[in-house]
Amino acid sequence: MKIAIIGAGAMGCLFGAYLSTHHEVTLIDVYPPQIEAINRTGVTVEEADEDVCYPGVKAVPIGCKLPVQDVLIVFVKNTQTEQALMQTKELIDEHSLVLTLQNGAGNDKVLSKFLPDGQIVVGTTKHNSINLGGGKVHHGSSGTTYVGS
């Protein structure tokens, strides 16, 4: 599957890294140093006992031309959701799903301005991650991720 993740911060990088083992993942972000670092070395996840590098992750600036994605995952701050969707709506067609795993309530309402309910998937995750910069994140704790609509 083609998966784009909006937001290459702690959680975007963590999920992007893990999903990249079986899917084509592109992180979309606004911070050039993070984008450049990810494209140079991939995403490194600092786990409790070792650092694991995921070189298959790509990163692009928001607004960069990409093909339509099968899944778009939103990991920006909830106050940035509407602007992020406005800048990436060309990545979505009638078959794409958009998943929000963001903190805060009401993200599904923002997504519904751009998509029919059948394409919106809401979830929560109990993973903990800290952005260390340069395409590296610390995975502080694992937890369950619930996905449903």
State percent of the chain over pLDDT 70. Answer: 99
Whether 26 has a pLDDT exceeding 70, the answer reads yes
- Over residues 35-55, the mean pLDDT reads 98
Q: What pLDDT shows up at residue 63?
A: 92
Query: Residue 106: its pLDDT value, please?
Result: 83
Fold for the domain defined by 2-148: Rossmann fold (3.40.50)
Rounded mean pLDDT, 118-147: 94
Nearest-5° Cα angle at 9, 7 to 11: 90
What does the domain layout of the chain look like in residue ranges? Answer: 2-148
Mean pLDDT of 70-75: 98
Task: Summarize the confidence of residues 91-107 as an average pLDDT.
Answer: 92
pLDDT recorded at residue 89: 94
For residue 74, the model assigns a pLDDT of: 97
Ramachandran angles phi, psi of 107, nearest 5°: -65, -35
pLDDT for the residue 103 = 82
**Mean pLDDT computed over 51-75:** 97
Cβ-contact 101, 71 below 8 angstroms: no
Whether the pLDDT of residue 149 is over 60: the answer is: no
Contacts of 135 (CB under 8 A, 6+ apart): 13, 34, 37, 38, 40, 41, 42, 43, 44, 59
User: By CB neighbour count within 10 A (0-12 exposed, 13-18 middle, 19+ buried), where does 51 fall?
Assistant: exposed
